[in-house]
Amino acid sequence: MFEIFVNSLNFDVSEYLVEELTELQKKIVDDATFILKENIVGDVGMCKSFGGSVKKNEEKFKELMKQAELELEKDKYKDIKKNLKDYLKKLSELIIKTCVTIIPVKELPWGDVVFRTIPRITFDDKVHLLDNAIAYYGEINCFIGRTTIFGKMKDPSSEPLFAPFMGNLDLGGYKLEESQDKPKSQVFSYVNAIINSLDSAITKSQLVKYHEGYQRHGDPICDFLMKDDDLLNSMDKITTALESERSKSDIAVCSIAIPLPSDKRSLIITTEEGRGDNCFGNCFEALLKFSAACCQVPSPSQEAPRQAGSTPGQTGGPIRTPGGQELKVWSAEDLASEAQKRLAAQPNIPSWSEEELTKFTESRGSGIPEDMEVWKEDELLELAEKRRSGGLNIPEWQPDQDMIECSKCGYSLRPGWTKCPVCDTPVGEKPSEEVKKEPSEPEEPSGENQSEDKSKEPESKEDDPDL
């Protein structure tokens, strides 16, 4: 709801920039230009600087506040109404802490370097104004061919990386006017939309996709940049939204290189969210080395991308295979245009919804192609049994139902036999139940009988009449 409210205001801080700077803005600009002092064309006074001021567009600002108050009366904001009022109070402070300076430089990859502050109003239980972020950016006279981002991940085992950006940037609905006559790096609203896009979930997902899905290699530009240890060391010094704890995400994108096909140039932007004297130097050093490396990357016409899915963003034009054959490459815009042409040429072409496709799949049964051999479970068990027996189909032994067994020894007797050929037992004779006992040792008389016998024995030989 907070984002819905902010978007409803259509607030653009560039409408409040004036050439007259406050003391605070002058100090920020001095710090930003100090590290470039010996490379500035002329002196520092040659730089064009602008600072935010509510007074410049006071009537517009009042109208903005009036519109905001009317929007606040809607029931959908009642749970965060107090927070939104705090947001409105901080808008004037955000304007005052916004400043930008265009620095003409010599012996560097750009004609002009642009510096700006990036104050932000965030909402996390409470409304906060964060005024520590800055950015340096400029246009180089080299066309890199594909949008490339640099970022970090929270996982300590994952090193920072460059990644290709597939598709179009999420500029929040911003459209750059084609009639714009000044360099795109000096169009404040355009650059502002790009910087905001670095926080987009779409942009962050591109970084993770290249890290996990492509194992950090396959794109010629990114492969080239990742081999530059000096560049990586400078980029690693940048304080991102992860280190500043501005973002609750596990991914932060802090730099981007964007091809400008119509100008045959590229726009390079680096952001920094640290505090202290080193933040200006770290941010500019990263921009300088990133820009210099982009001037040396392989052009799209020299090397085809290794991954089939990494072509979006590349401009159309012939490329050559190692065998010398020319191949045409289409950008995402070209493919979309071709699709529209085909749709217009065949307006009655059938289409299916996801539910219809699901029904088709179910109606086709298992989806197994025709004429493909299929086994049932019983057949698979039979095959497994054959493999266990060395490929021989040996049936399990079962007794013959037409034969009977000898009642004494169990030998199988064929029909018509009258006696067993083994033990001569007549067929059909039952075995005798009486079993002859083997002679054995006489048993000892039990206790009682033994005592009776003893009582009958004569006490002496004289008493025995037989002796």
User: Within 13 A of 434's CA, how many CA atoms are on the CB side?
Assistant: 1
Tell me, what's the pLDDT at 229? 94
Nearest CA among 256, 198, 258, 190 for reference residue 12:
190
**Three-class SS of residue 168?**
coil
Q: Where are the domains of the chain?
A: 1-103, 132-302+311-334
**Three-class SS of residue 70?**
helix
Nearest CA among 382, 388, 413 for reference residue 400:
413
Per-residue tokens: 38: 């010996």
* CA gap 431, 423 in Å, rounded: 12
Beta-sheet strand order (sheet of 161-164) = 17-18, 48-52, 99-104, 112-117, 134-140, 265-272, 251-260, 148-153, 161-164
* CA gap 223, 452 in Å, rounded: 113
* CA gap 67, 273 in Å, rounded: 32
Q: What is the CA radius of gyration of the chain?
A: 46
What number of helices (H) and strands (E) belong to the chain? 13, 15
Please provide residue 462's backbone torsions phi and psi, each rounded to the nearest 5 degrees. -70, -30
Tell me, what's the pLDDT at 44? 65
Listed as ranges, residues in the chain with pLDDT below 50 are 301-317, 322-323, 434-461, 467
Tell me, what's the pLDDT at 313? 38
Tell me, what's the pLDDT at 263? 86
Please provide residue 317's backbone torsions phi and psi, each rounded to the nearest 5 degrees. 155, 155
Tell me, what's the pLDDT at 440? 46
Tell me, what's the pLDDT at 320? 54
Q: Supply the DSSP string of 232-279, one letter for each residue.
A: HHHHHTS--TTTTT---SSEEEEEEEEEETTTTEEEEEEEE---STHH
* CA gap 15, 58 in Å, rounded: 11
Q: Which residue has the tokens 């071709």?
A: 338
Tell me, what's the pLDDT at 303? 42
DSSP letter (8 states) at residue 430: P
Q: Which residue has the tokens 């991308």?
A: 305
